[in-house]
Amino acid sequence: MLCAVVIATIARAAATGTLKLDVMGDLGAGAKNSAHVIASDGKEVGQVAPGATIALPPGTYRVDLPIIGGHMSKDNIAIESGRTHTVLIQNVAVMQVDVTDRTGKDPGFGVTVTSSDDPNKKLATFVSGDKVLFAPMLVDVNVDAPPQGYNWHAVEMKPGERAHLTLDEMVKAQLVIQPALQKLPIDKSTRVVVYHAGTQSQVAESAPGPEHRFELDPGDYDVYVENRAGKGRPYVTVPGIHLDSGAKLERQVPMD
């Protein structure tokens, strides 16, 4: 009886063929978009992920692969007993967002993708580390990384290519602003305000005191120095200060 069961199992396996979905080889393998496999009678018989295979009875099939912003379809796919039919899909784009913490692991932050054009329609949400297939377009990408998230603007999704975005754990940077009058420090007579570069969005403020020291996220900032000493310039603006992750920058600001 056992021998008969084994023979029957082998016979069924021999009576099937294999469909393999190849989406740009290793670039697309493992993407979260699974293709629907449709038989000639219009019924879905299964799903297959990029880089994976599915066993099917001999016949003719269609593969529909949903991608962000569209879909790809392949018709008249002939499956023969004991053989593999590889379905190639090339004209899509792949996005992969990798985040690395101090231990070298991906913490699995949320990723939101919107169109770069108004009204910035939400297109997809997934988790860092995933691969997702897109139609060609320009997109904005936001990662829910602390403290306030991280953004990429106008990422070009090119057909046949992968947009691989990486984010290491951001370490606060230190900025020390040293207002001076005739090269002498006047911290106790000055107030310093830090803005996001090119905006009026205030990030931090330091009242008159022993020093003006800030801990800030990496990025670009403008600094406004208000002089209350009663001599020298009443204020000075210092634009475009760039801070790298973990860096310490000291900037003297003459108020003469």
Question: 93-168 and 173-254 share one CATH topology?
Answer: yes
Is the pLDDT score of 215 beyond 60? yes
Beta bridge partners of 94: 133, 162
CATH of domain 173-254: 2.60.40.1120
Q: How are beta strands 44-48 and 35-39 bridged, if at all?
A: antiparallel
pTM: 0.64
**Percentages of the chain per state (helix, strand, coil), in multiples of 5:** 5, 55, 35
Can you give the residue ranges of every domain in the chain? Answer: 2-89, 93-168, 173-254
Cβ(212)–Cβ(178) below 8 Å: yes
On average, the pLDDT of the chain sits at 91
CATH code: domain 2-89 is: 2.60.40
pLDDT at 9 over 70: no
H or E stretch covering 97: strand 93-100
Which CATH architecture best describes the domain 93-168? Answer: Sandwich (2.60)
Angle at 199 between CA 239 and CA 125, to 5 degrees: 120
Model pLDDT for residues 95-139, shown as the tens digit of each residue: 999 998 777 788 899 999 999 988 889 999 999 999 999 999 999
What are the tens digits of pLDDT across the range 131-190?
Answer: 999 999 999 999 998 766 788 999 999 999 999 999 876 677 899 999 999 999 999 999
Give the largest CA-CA distance in the chain.
104
